Amino acid sequence: MENLINKQWTLHSRPDPDVILSNFKYTESPVQYPKKGEVLLKIHYLNLAPVMRMYMMADGGGYSTESILGIGDVIHGRGVAEVIASMHDSYQVGDFVQGQVGWQTYKLSSMTKQEKFRKMSPRKLPIYYGLSALGMTGYSAYCGFIARGEPKEGDAVLVSGAAGGVGSLVIQIAKALGCSPVIGIAGGQEKCAIVKDLGADAVIDYKTENVSDQISALLPDGLDVYFDNVGGEILETALGHLKKSARIVLCGAISEYARKEPFSLKNYGLVRQKGADLRGFFVYNHPHLYEEAETRIAQWIKEGKLRALMDIEEGFTNVPQSLIGLYTGSNIGKRIVKVSEGPEINY
């Protein structure tokens, strides 16, 4: 192990307000051999997400106080890693795990609960799925839709953020379960085309169409399940089209991040009038469903019923630039960076 070099990206300065290259500092240090209770992980893939800017801000961007980085800290991030040395009873060399690895190429870990590591079952699928359909994104789509949306065959389903990581999977899970029709909401022609291509029965472009009119036309009897990734105006619009006992899953609220004042929901009374449910969803409340989610999603992938939107870049050196690209570019699908060479399929 003494020959291995750990490469790291640490926080050098805070975004003000945009993330720029000089916010990051590159360092190298020798890799240590694990002590009792530790494993040595080799990191293969890193997950990038817009929320990372929040971790870099002094106040956590109002997102979380637990994840705020100090100057000099390794940048937080989830990844897929391989156990290459183990002094831990529960892990063996060759195991793949996904969890909190940080922006580095190796990590010594005691595999604490806070790092939220999860051993990846062999699925005969590429390991990077552990950062999308077979990881937290997939669990979010599956647990949120199944446990909170309680869909039945034939249910009319509406999904916002339908070209996003979670939304694009919900569209496909809804179709696989026999919901009908399954309608997506996305912004712009390109994203709408992708959602249609994933199997949605129809897609509403919120940038050019009147969302309420389109829902009325497509779902004249209203909707059974609305899977909300955006909050705000689109949530309010969807509440105007509920069937009796409809379920609204509040999964994300991307529209709220850029707002100065929180959005005020004027028509919450419809939830009472329709006997409907507005259900908050937090994926970490549903760990008992992760294995089931993985098994079924892996099966759907193999059957060609489900496709994960991924945008895979290469090179540890490029990680900061890949993150910055998320704020300016129009990536489709989850951005993942391959940071090491190694096995690609998890047998």
Q: Angle at which helices 290-302 and 165-176 pack, to 10 degrees?
A: 70
Tokens read off for 50: 């817009």
**Shortest Cβ distance from residue 85 to a copy of itself (Å)?**
37
Give the other-Cβ count within 10 Å of 189's Cβ. Answer: 12
Nearer to a copy of itself, 202 or 265 (CB): 265
Residues 5, 92, 93, 268: which binds a copy of itself (CB under 8 A)? 268
Whether residue 115 contacts residue 121, with contact meaning beta carbons closer than 8 Å, is answered with: no
Nearer to a copy of itself, 216 or 285 (CB): 285
**Residue 265 binds a copy of itself, judged by CB under 8 A:** yes
Tokens read off for 52: 């990372």
Q: Residue 174: name the closest of 202, 147, 146 by CA.
A: 146
**Shortest Cβ distance from residue 65 to a copy of itself (Å)?**
13
**Residue 278 binds a copy of itself, judged by CB under 8 A:** yes
Q: How far apart are CA 71 and CA 282, in angstroms?
A: 29
**Residue 120 binds a copy of itself, judged by CB under 8 A:** no
**Residue 282 binds a copy of itself, judged by CB under 8 A:** yes
Label residue 313 exposed, middle or buried (CB < 10 Å: 0-12, 13-18, 19+): middle
Residues 220-249 that bind a copy of itself (CB under 8 A): 231, 244-245
Nearer to a copy of itself, 239 or 339 (CB): 239
**Residue 62 binds a copy of itself, judged by CB under 8 A:** no
Query: Measured at the alpha carbon of residue 210, what is the angle toward residues 207 and 216, in degrees to the nearest 5?
Result: 135
Residues 244-263 that bind a copy of itself (CB under 8 A): 244-245, 250-253, 256, 262-263
Binding interface with a copy of itself (CB under 8 A): 231, 244-245, 250-253, 256, 262-282, 285
